[in-house]
Amino acid sequence: MQRHARVSTRLTRIAALAASAAVAVVLSAVAPAAAAPPSGNNGGKDIASTTENYVTTFYPIWFTHFQTTALPVPVNHFIGPNEISPVYQAVVAINDDTLYASTPLDVSGGPVGVVVPATPVAYSVLLVDPYGNVYPSGIPSRKAGEGTQTIEYALIGPDASDDLLGAEVVRLPLDHMIMIFRVDKHIGTEDVTTEAEEFRKGILANGVPTAVKPVEEFGVPVKTIADDLVRLAPIEFLRQTQVAVADDGWTPPLNRQEQKLSDDFDALFGDGSSLTDAERAQFAEGARSAHDALIANYLDHRGATNWTHFTNIGAWKKNVLDRASITEFCQYCNTIETAAYYHAFYDGNGAPLDGSHPGGYVLTFPADAIPDAERFWSVTAYTPNAIQPIPNALDKYLVASYTEGLETNPDGSISIYLAVTQPDGVPQANWLPVRDGAFNVMLRVYGVVPKSDIAKDKYLPPAIQLR
């Protein structure tokens, strides 16, 4: 089944808007972080504060609604890119560690059958709602060597009958959700990409195998479109968010507080067509203020060595500002039980990372502080706006625990060199290409060891230092 299988004239218009100006995340210009969106809407009569609350609360809904309705994305049919490259922009902060298979799920019309084949490789399964809240998947993730059986699952809705034979029944908490498989390409340092690809293609949804599509089909710059709409066309962004929130075929039922906020906003905004210039300015102010706050909240959420790290990913409860921030920078990231994410925009002295420095940077993990991972750890460099891999002649987008030829220093530490060109005397395996300008770096730890310092939020990645 295809849902909105065309790239509509609406999408064309949005993409044109995004292409009209690149709105950079200029670190020095970001407003101070807001602890939370304002709570006082003056009974829903204050346009700017109501709009700021509205955007902060429903920011993730714009993203997932756009990704699943405005783009040619099939429902109940797993797809994934044939490769990861800078072309990929459909989801922010993609990485080249794993193979992907994902689908929006719609079980409102009946069960969806998912077959997970036996495999020697490790994989994780992520089940999220349209806000990005993480739920137990019902389909377990597996470590390498654990997936010894092919298992058929029947995914059903919260109110459906479970009188199904021959399948493991998985009751979803909502009719509309998103499921993502991430399949490891390495076991230790062994390259098992062939086996991982065989597994990915063998995942069936209603009898249809995963479709591996050219990466160009994932090239719509979703984050950049959102950023540019908020900055350049905030009234259009608010219209689209309003449509997404009202789509009960996608958005989960609103709780009383969310419904009150939505009603207050609708009463003020209408459909956006009859606003005075003064009202438009107030709505724009609220939307941009919310956007400033979610960016600042992420960039300012730093530890002593200037790495941004959240432990509440996928489990934000009432912290809608953190949820909006993660949507902007790490959408579809896992909970801390599965993976840990550390994101650096600054060096150890607090200066923005900038590849124009002639010597580049070095990130050295002391022997006793190399990330503890059951699966792997990796470091990826990204562009500052779209948070996409940095183009380079080697098509090399990460340095990982499994990188072939990765050299250890005599004291047991590991140094990764971040530079535009390979520094003299540095092994290619230890070099991570960056761009001649602003960039950022993400450290991922997949397979968080229970009770480890990472699991207990006591791990502090070393600072990135100028060379």
Q: According to the model, what pLDDT value does residue 250 have?
A: 96
Q: Are 172 and 158 in contact (CB under 8 A)?
A: yes
Eight-state DSSP code of residue 28: G
Q: According to the model, what pLDDT value does residue 72 have?
A: 86
Q: Which CATH number fits domain 336-466: 2.60.120.600, 2.60.40.10, 3.40.1190.20, 3.30.420.40?
A: 2.60.120.600
What SS3 state is found at 105?
Answer: strand
Q: According to the model, what pLDDT value does residue 164 have?
A: 74
- Let me know the angle formed at the C-alpha of 195 by 342 and 388, rounded to the nearest 5 degrees: 35
Q: According to the model, what pLDDT value does residue 166 have?
A: 75
Helix (H) or strand (E) holding 117: none
3-state secondary structure 31-99: CCCCCCCCCCCCCCCCHHHHHHHHHHHHHHHHHHHHHHHHCCCECCCCEEECCCCCCCCCCCCCCCCEE
Amino acid making up residue 34: A
Answer yes or no: CATH 2.60.40.1610 is held by domain 79-218: yes
Domain ranges across the chain:
79-218, 336-466
**Which pTM was predicted?**
0.92
Q: According to the model, what pLDDT value does residue 414 have?
A: 98
Amino acid making up residue 201: K
Q: According to the model, what pLDDT value does residue 78 have?
A: 98
351 φ/ψ angles, rounded to the nearest 5 degrees: -85, 145
- Select from 117, 141, 88 the least CA-distant residue to 205: 117
As beta bridge partners, residue 123 has 142, 183
| Tens digits of pLDDT across the chain (467 residues) | 333 333 344 454 554 554 443 333 333 333 333 444 455 677 678 999 999 999 999 999 999 999 999 888 999 999 999 999 999 999 999 999 999 999 999 999 999 999 999 999 999 999 999 999 999 999 999 999 999 999 999 999 999 988 876 789 999 999 999 999 999 999 999 999 999 999 999 999 999 999 999 999 999 999 999 999 999 999 999 999 999 999 999 999 999 999 999 999 999 999 999 999 999 999 999 999 999 999 999 999 999 999 999 999 999 999 999 999 999 999 999 999 999 999 999 999 999 999 999 999 999 999 999 999 999 999 999 999 999 999 999 999 999 999 999 999 999 999 999 999 999 999 999 999 999 999 999 999 999 999 999 999 999 999 999 99
